Amino acid sequence: MLDTAETPGNDVQDAIVPADVAATVVAPKSYVDDTVIYPALAWLRDNVPLGKASVPGYDRFWLVTRYADVMAISRNAKVFINGDNNLVLNTQAGDAYLRQANGGKLRSMNSLAFMDRPEHAVYRSLTATSFMPGRIRKLEESIREIARASVTEMLAHEGEFDFVRDFAMHYPLRVISSMLGVPQEDEAHTLSLTQRLFGAPPPSPDGAAPTMDAAARHWRDTLEEFHAYFRELSKARRREPRDDLISLIANTKIEGEDIREDYELDYYVAIATAGHDTTTSSTAGGMLGMLKAPAQFAALKADPSLTEGFVDEAIRWSVPIKHFMRTANEDVVVSGQKIHAGDRLFLSYPSANRDADVYADGDAFDIRRSPNQHLSFGNGPHMCLGQHLAKLDMRVLFEELMPRVASIELAGEPEHTETNFIGGLHSLPVRFKAA
Ligand code: HEM
């Protein structure tokens, strides 16, 4: 934890993460297999909870794995900032490309997650009220209609279907699209752009794996396509405002001036993209948790009052976002380690969420877990803007789903996306009996 009083002397050596463990935590493919990533993270918590990691092709960074440290760093946004650097761990080649494309900067979007105060507070306040629990609750009936329609569509599959592709993927997208003001007929387009933004670039024609500068280029090109789409929608909402977030943001003034176009378009991209892949992952993750522990399914079916606890546990256990980076902007001591201004820190949310100091048997999926103050939504001033919406989406969906299925079981191998950033299950074949 943060401890400026107890400054270690100059002779204190940095704790070092063994190269093989650092490589495991950084490799996207580690996250498809719980038996690879979680033992590596548990080893780090026990042996090097905060240590310097070196992985070929990446700048050195601090790997933060304990709950208390991830929490303390997230809350101290004065010392640990977001804006000056890349928010995710990118390769040196990828960062070099981004710098070149962004006039020397690594801030690749003008959206909340890349901002620091005072700018962050100004832009967050534009939509903060729209995402407060009181406001979000007013959407419950319209969200329930979307959930009911999704469950009805799912039941039409008669027995067997893919819980992610045929169900969990579409519902949060519909909810966030309707809140933003994206017409339903455009959802397939925004879904494909989101998947491209967070997915790997297409392989090169000679079949070689994409290079990291190709990945950075792919990110910029996709972002530009997103901008082109939202630019047209924004024009329409300026002409004829409606009761949606695009109308709210497009017509806002910052210190008496119209909002800058790049900030405006990135706001939409952030909400559209942050809001559905994550909720899809935790929805599917919660279902997988119950498929692996059928007594939990029976308990939830018998007692709908457990749904809120189920939702928290699904989000804790599935951890849709695997890490975010912070940069220290002054020298500081954290848990006995001397962090220098300019050092970067990798906050491991999957690790924090299974820390034995906070969670008894953190690997188990337990819908009665209480308290359950997980770090899947981060913490501090950047804590997820859409957390109440995500929880409402999931609660309503499972309230609608559970009474209509008698049983559900795995019908094939679940498949996870290879990512060290955003993602989770991309396929979950299931067989069910309708109630
Ligand atoms: C289960 C679903 C979700 C998860 C796990 C999740 C996770 C996160 C995390 C870890 C952060 C960064 C927190 C930090 O830096 O401390 C974040 C930020 C953010 N999330 Fe979510 N999120 C989810 C759903 C949503 C939804 C539905 C929206 C819709 C608006 C959303 C919008 C955002 C935005 C705009 C930010 C940036 C906030 C800021 O920097 O001030 N998220 N989210």
Q: pLDDT by residue (tens digit) across 256-277?
A: 999 999 999 999 999 988 877 8
Task: Report how far residue 1's alpha carbon sits from residue 73's, in angstroms, rounded to the nearest whole number.
Answer: 8
Number of domains present in the structure of the chain: 1
Query: Which of 377, 395, 422 best tests ligand 1's pocket when mutated (most atoms within 8 Å of CB)?
Result: 377
Residue 4: predicted pLDDT = 47
Mean pLDDT of 216-220: 80
Q: Nearest C-alpha to atom 43 of ligand 1 is from which residue?
A: 384
In a domain, 403, yes or no: yes
Tokens (6 digits) for 380: 């501090």
What stretches of 1-91 show up as alpha helix (H) in DSSP? 19-26, 34-47, 67-75
For residues 80 and 89, the answer to whether their CB atoms sit within 8 Å is no
Assign residue 391 the CATH number of its domain: 1.10.630.10
Instruction: Report whether pLDDT(10) > 80.
Output: no
Ligand 1, residues at Cβ distance < 6 Å? 74, 112-113, 124, 176, 270-271, 274-275, 278-279, 282, 315, 320-321, 324, 376-380, 382-386, 389-390
DSSP-derived letter for residue 8 is P
396 has which bridge partners?
A: none
Mean pLDDT of 147-155: 93
Residue 414: predicted pLDDT = 97
Residue 71: predicted pLDDT = 98
- Domain containing 35 equals 19-434
Q: pLDDT by residue (tens digit) across 157-215?
A: 878 999 999 999 888 988 999 899 999 899 889 888 887 887 666 666 666 666 666 77
Instruction: Report whether pLDDT(98) > 70.
Output: yes
Q: Work out the pLDDT band at 5, boundaries 50, 70, 90.
A: very low
Residue 49: predicted pLDDT = 98
Distance 270 CA to ligand 1 centre (A): 9
Residue 158: predicted pLDDT = 79
Q: Nearest C-alpha to atom 19 of ligand 1 is from which residue?
A: 384
Q: pLDDT by residue (tens digit) across 107-134?
A: 888 999 999 999 999 999 999 999 999 9
In a domain, 404, yes or no: yes
Instruction: Report whether pLDDT(428) > 60.
Output: yes
In a domain, 47, yes or no: yes
In a domain, 14, yes or no: no
In a domain, 263, yes or no: yes
In a domain, 247, yes or no: yes
In a domain, 416, yes or no: yes
What stretches of 243-293 show up as alpha helix (H) in DSSP? 245-250, 261-274, 277-292
Mean pLDDT of 139-155: 93
In a domain, 11, yes or no: no
Instruction: Report whether pLDDT(137) > 60.
Output: yes
